[in-house]
Structure 1
Amino acid sequence: MLSLSHFNKHTIKGDIFGALTSTIVALPFALAFGVTSGAGASAGIYCAVITGLFASIFGGTNQQISGPNTGLTVAMVAILTSFIAQFPENGVALAFTVVSLAGVLQILFGFFKLGKYFILVSYPVISGFTSGIGVLIILSQIEPLFGVSLDDVNLAINSLLNPTMFLGTMCLLVLFFWPQKYSKIVPASIIVVIGATVFYILTGVNLPVVGAISSELPDFNMPVWESSLASEMIKSALLLATLSTLDSLMTSLTVDSISNDLHDSDQELVGQGIGNVVAGLFGALPGGGATMRTVTNLRAGGTTPLSGILHAVFILLIVLWAGEYTAYIPVVVLAAILTHVGISIIDWNFLKRLHQVPLFSACLMISTMVMAVVFDLVTAVLIGVFIANLVTIRRLSEIQLDNINLSTAKDADYLSAPEKQMLESIEDSVLILNISGPIGFGVARGLKQSVTRANQNKILLIDFTDALFVGITSTIAIEEIILSYQKQGREILLSSVCQRVRNDFDKLNLFKNIPENHVFNTRLEALTYIKNNS
């Protein structure tokens, strides 16, 4: 978050240079994302200006550069298309209302400190999700890049004489093969934009162009709400908020690894949320942390939020001064830039190693990618996360079950010498169920099965000496064990129940099911009671 300490002579030079460098990188992408979204080039430009400004002022990552990005643009295309089809008059206004609503959700994510949970998504899900976005971007750019639609059966013949195809191919070749050492001086994206524009002016070929961007600032638009689309608007806002959050926090983690700094995830969400609220009000695309532009800023010397603010200011000044010249930029060059981005963000490294990773991880990645392309991004993420979490819970449950021991004197290694001596003297009459570590809901079924398979002719002592946490589901399982034992006329005792576990038990009134003199402070007290009453 910006503070007065960021305005100092030691960092301002680096911030200015970082802002200038990231601006050069960002401009072509802002134009490309705006055109691709269907909202126009200005929507992408002002997204970079607005989200870049407010996320830098109020965010929690010093060097973050925010603006439009791939996943958000893909989602915005679907949202705009859907709302315009249903409400031609207010569709655009509804879509940008969703952008502001997404910003509100992000602010709430930060306020309730949910930032740390968004970066817990498993790698195969993230890999499949981003790869799916890459495929969607490539598919969406085929027509503007080659001048033919996907279903054109004469593609191979027509494209040979198609100037759009020629220019698009040349731009892609430059983007892929521009030497890395020169990219530090002039990015390939700038080269292809300049080159394609010169080609268009000199040859006079008939190509679709971006069109001039008005030198006037965008108008303020009041949010529009449509009750019949309430569920779709909320679902779309949640998608945009999630995408922006993931992009921003992943970029923040990248910054941390490079700068050895630590970002504030929740503050970052608040800053990004404020930026998206304002972006929606002025008809700009939703934005989030942009990894490539952020790393460019960082490596060029940007160290404080001032670099992000200057980045936004520089883009605004360029548009206000030279916005009319975008009328000469061919759309095909922006399609080439996005196609290059789409190809680049596919996780080729993971795909090449699919035969080496566990079958479940490989299937999860592929299925998430396919769902993102065939269905939608929300479905892909929700199902992917749900399946990954189910498997994780099962694995954790297996580990936790290993920490639950039904013990006799022979295998109760965790007992102290006096306790073991006491147990040996009463071994025929008692069985200890030792619970250690946190017990989650995935363990409940296994817990009951373990006791059911044991010899229920003995007194059962449930020992919580090493139990730190027992969830509600496991509390119910323990209650069922107690009731089952009591129904058979057998004794059941509890020992060493800490206060946190007691609180869980009290929520379900578990202690009413067991006599007060059968609850002991220590394991030794419980064993002594059993010996004296056996």
Structure 2
Amino acid sequence: MLSLSHFNRQSIKGDIFGALTSTIVALPFALAFGVTSGIGATAGIYCAIITGLFASIFGGTNQQISGPNTGLTVAMVAIVSSFVAQSPEHGLAAAFTVVSLAGVFQILFGFFKLGKYFILVSYPVISGFTSGIGVLIILSQIEPLFGSSLLDLNLSVNTFINTNTLVGLACLLVLFVWPRKFSHIVPASIIAVAGATIFYLVSASDIPVVGAIASELPSFHLPLWDSGLAGEMVKSALLIATLSTLDSLMTSLTVDSLNNDLHDSDQELVGQGIGNLVAGLFGALPGGGATMRTVTNLRAGGTTPLSGILHSLFILAIVLWAGEYTAYIPVAVLAAILMHVGISIIDWNFLKRIHKISLFSVVLMISTMVMAVVFDLVTAVLIGVFIDNLVTIRRLSELQLDNIKLYTAKEAEHLPFIERQIFTEIEDGVTLLTISGPIGFGVARGLKQCVSNADENKDLLIDLTNARFVGITSTIAIEEIILSYQDEGREVLLSSVCERVRSDFNKIKLLDKISADHVFTTRVDALVYLKYKRKNAVK
């Protein structure tokens, strides 16, 4: 978050250069994303201005540059087309309300400190998700580039020799072959835009162009709630909020790795949320952290949130005083830029090593990618995360089951000598169940199965000396074990219950089910009690 400490003579120069450089990189992308959304170039430009400004002022990553990006644009295209089809009169206004509502959700994510959970997504899911977005972007640019949709595309020579397609393919070639060492001086996207624009002016070709951007500030629109679209509006807002959050926090992690700093995830979500809240009110696309632009800002000298603020102001100045010149930019060059983005963000590094990766990870990645393309992004993420978590829980449960041991005296060599000696004396009267480490809900069934193998004529000592956490499901399983033993007239004793485990037990009043004299401070105390109980029974 911006503070007075960020304003100093040493950093301001770097922030100015960082802002200028990132502005040059951001402009073509803002135009391209705006045009692709179907709302217009202005929506992309003002997204870069508004989200960039507010995310820098209120965010938690010093060098973050925010604006429109691939996933959010793909999602917005689907939202706008769906809403307008269902409600031609109010659909577009409802879509912008979704952007503002997404901002509110992000602010709540930050307020409830959920930032750390959004980055706990496995790599195959993220890989499949981003690759799916790449495929969607490529598919969305086929019509602007070739003049027809994928289904109607004719792969004849005539398709590739028309002026619009040739301009786009030439720009795409420039984007791929432009030397990386020159990119920090003049980005390839600027070369492509400049070259295509000059060609259009010189040749006077009749090809689609972006059109002029009005040299005025966007108008304010009150949110519109369409009751017929209420369910879809909430779902779409959660999707936008999630996508923006993931993009922003992943970019923040990239910044941390480059400058050995630590961002504030929750504050970043608040800043991005405020940016999207305001963007929706002014008819702009939703935005999030933009990795390429952020890294450009960082490499060029940007060190504080001031660089992001200046970035937004520079774009605003260009729009207000030079917006009319976008009328000469061919749509084909923007399609080429996004086609390049789509191809670049597909995780080729993962795909080329697919034969070396576990089958589950490969299936998870590919299925997430396919679902992102065939269904929608939120379905892809939710199902991918759900499946991944199920498998992870199963694997953790298998490991945790190793922390549950059922002993007789012959199997208890690990016990200290005095305990082993006592245990040997009372072997025919008790079974020892030891629980170690953290025990999650996936272990509950295995816990009950373990005890079911015990001798039905013996009492049970449950030792929790090394237990550090017992979830509510496993706590209920322990309660069921205690009650079943008591119903059969057998006793259950507990030993070494630490405060954290005791807290878990108290949530369901488990300790009320056991007599206080059957809860012992140490295992040896419990064994001594059982020893004297056996002696008294013999007498």
Q: With structure 2 as the length reference, what TM-score do the two structures score?
A: 0.97
Deviation at 1:492? 1.3
For residue 492 of structure 1, what is the aligned residue in structure 2? 492
Are 1:531 and 2:531 an aligned pair? yes
What is the one-letter code of the residue matched to 2:510? L
For residue 323 of structure 1, what is the aligned residue in structure 2? 323
For residue 475 of structure 2, what is the aligned residue in structure 1? 475
Q: How does 1:74-153 map to 2 (within 5 A)?
A: 74-152=74-152
Q: How does 1:413-432 map to 2 (within 5 A)?
A: 415-432=415-432
SS in 2 for 1:438: strand
Contact 1:127 1:365 in 2 (8 A): yes
Distance 2:148 2:275 in 1: 37
Q: Deviations over 1:279-317 (max 9, x none)?
A: 000001000000000000001100110000000010100
What is the one-letter code of the residue matched to 1:180? R
Contact 2:31 2:42 in 1 (8 A): yes
For residue 505 of structure 1, what is the aligned residue in structure 2? 505
Counting aligned pairs with the same residue, the percent is 78
SS in 1 for 2:439: coil
For residue 165 of structure 1, what is the aligned residue in structure 2? 165
Contact 2:90 2:226 in 1 (8 A): no
Distance 1:390 1:486 in 2: 34
- More displaced stretch, 288-297 vs 147-156: 147-156
For residue 311 of structure 1, what is the aligned residue in structure 2? 311
Q: Deviations over 1:480-502 (max 9, x none)?
A: 11122222222211111222222
Are 1:274 and 2:240 an aligned pair? no
Distance 1:410 1:54 in 2: 68
For residue 56 of structure 1, what is the aligned residue in structure 2? 56
What is the one-letter code of the residue matched to 1:146? F
For residue 174 of structure 1, what is the aligned residue in structure 2? 174
Distance 1:413 1:347 in 2: 52
Are 1:302 and 2:302 an aligned pair? yes
- More displaced stretch, 402-411 vs 269-278: 402-411
For residue 41 of structure 1, what is the aligned residue in structure 2? 41
What is the one-letter code of the residue matched to 1:148? S
Contact 1:147 1:162 in 2 (8 A): no
The alpha-carbon distance between structure 1 residues 312 and 413, as it changes in their structure 2 partners (threshold 3 A), is farther
For residue 251 of structure 2, what is the aligned residue in structure 1? 251
Distance 1:516 1:267 in 2: 48
Distance 1:413 1:114 in 2: 46
**Would you say how many aligned residue pairs link Structure 1 and Structure 2?**
534
- More displaced stretch, 12-21 vs 504-513: 504-513
Distance 2:376 2:504 in 1: 40
Distance 1:308 1:154 in 2: 44
Contact 1:148 1:159 in 2 (8 A): no
Deviation at 1:503? 2.3
Deviation at 1:153? 5.2
Deviation at 1:145? 1.1
SS in 2 for 1:355: helix
What is the one-letter code of the residue matched to 2:133? I
- More displaced stretch, 108-117 vs 227-236: 227-236
Deviation at 1:438? 1.4
Distance 1:456 1:266 in 2: 53
Distance 2:153 2:182 in 1: 40
Distance 2:324 2:37 in 1: 20
- More displaced stretch, 25-34 vs 423-432: 423-432
What is the one-letter code of the residue matched to 2:48? A
Distance 2:6 2:438 in 1: 44
SS in 2 for 1:460: strand
SS in 2 for 1:457: coil
For residue 342 of structure 1, what is the aligned residue in structure 2? 342
RMSD (Å) for aligned C-alpha atoms: 1.1
SS in 2 for 1:220: coil
SS in 2 for 1:225: coil
- More displaced stretch, 452-461 vs 191-200: 452-461
For residue 458 of structure 1, what is the aligned residue in structure 2? 458
Distance 2:416 2:39 in 1: 72
Distance 2:522 2:147 in 1: 79
Distance 1:191 1:262 in 2: 35
Q: With structure 1 as the length reference, what TM-score do the two structures score?
A: 0.98
What is the one-letter code of the residue matched to 2:199? F
Contact 2:145 2:332 in 1 (8 A): yes
- More displaced stretch, 468-477 vs 278-287: 468-477
Distance 1:486 1:477 in 2: 14
Gaps of 5+ in 1: none
The alpha-carbon distance between structure 1 residues 345 and 455, as it changes in their structure 2 partners (threshold 3 A), is same
SS in 1 for 2:434: strand
SS in 2 for 1:51: helix
- More displaced stretch, 399-408 vs 510-519: 510-519
What is the one-letter code of the residue matched to 1:86? Q
Q: Deviations over 1:255-279 (max 9, x none)?
A: 0000000000000000000000000
For residue 156 of structure 1, what is the aligned residue in structure 2? 156
Distance 1:56 1:181 in 2: 29
Distance 1:470 1:148 in 2: 60
SS in 2 for 1:467: strand
Contact 1:98 1:234 in 2 (8 A): yes
Contact 1:31 1:45 in 2 (8 A): yes
Distance 1:299 1:187 in 2: 13
SS in 2 for 1:437: strand
For residue 441 of structure 1, what is the aligned residue in structure 2? 441
Deviation at 1:414? 5.0
Contact 1:47 1:67 in 2 (8 A): yes
Deviation at 1:419? 2.2
Distance 2:154 2:492 in 1: 80
Contact 2:146 2:160 in 1 (8 A): no
